Amino acid sequence: MKKFLLAIFAVVTFGSVRASDTLTRSIPEAKIMIDLPNSSWHLAGKQTNNGKTVYFFKRDPLTDSAQRVIIPNIGVIVEKVDGKMDVVTWSVLKRANMPLEVDKMFIHGEGMISFLNAVGYKGKYVDDAKLEHTVYVIHAINNKMGIQLIFDSTTSVFDQVDKEFQKVLKSFRK
């Protein structure tokens, strides 16, 4: 009976430790990690296609003032880059394909991100349904892999998730 109780205690204790660890997510292709801000966020999927690996993180839905159900998301896209490519050049190439109106640009040391080989943007775009979105986009290079982190929410609920987005931004690390 004692062994049985000890086994249950070990499982419960291990399970508790594991539950708190679930907020840290490894992106092994780029040898980076991020911390999800709370249990409202989960990994919704992972796809690999044409040399790119994409991780999709979704938040539990929020309702905006127009009673629309909004699901904020974070995408992490990883792809090989030329080993001689610097992050600024790579970011310029990636930005050329993004319909993003940039409001702010930032790098490590300015408080938004601490990842050294990265550049970030805060901006807006309008989707096909004519809803405005506010996004953070980070371009980084690590381990000869280009990394794009895209934090996306309609502007109508952005203020509700901005602190959560910023927590993930600050947790982005090797």
Give 82-108 pLDDT, tens digit per residue.
989 999 999 999 999 888 999 999 998
Mean pLDDT, the chain, whole residue set:
88
- Determine the Cα–Cα distance for residues 156 and 60; give it in Å rounded to an integer: 15
Provide the whole-model pTM.
0.86
> What is the three-state SS of 123-155?
EEEECCCCCEEEEEEEEEEECCEEEEEEEEEEH
Q: What confidence tier does 79 reach under pLDDT thresholds 50, 70, 90?
A: very high
What ranges do the domains of the chain cover? 23-171
CB atoms within 10 A of CB 117: 16
Beta bridge partners of 148: 77, 139
Phi/psi of residue 52, each to 5°? -110, 140
Q: Average the pLDDT over 75-87 and give the result.
A: 96
Q: What angle do CA 166, 100, 140 make, to 5 degrees?
A: 55
pLDDT in tens, 129-162: 999 999 999 999 999 999 999 999 999 999 999 9
Closest CA to 50 of 71, 10, 70, 78: 78
Q: CA angle 43-116-52, nearest 5°? A: 40
Both tokens of residue 66?
């127009």
Choosing among 1.10.10.10, 3.40.50.720, 3.90.1300.10, 3.40.1000.10, the CATH entry for 23-171 is: 3.40.1000.10
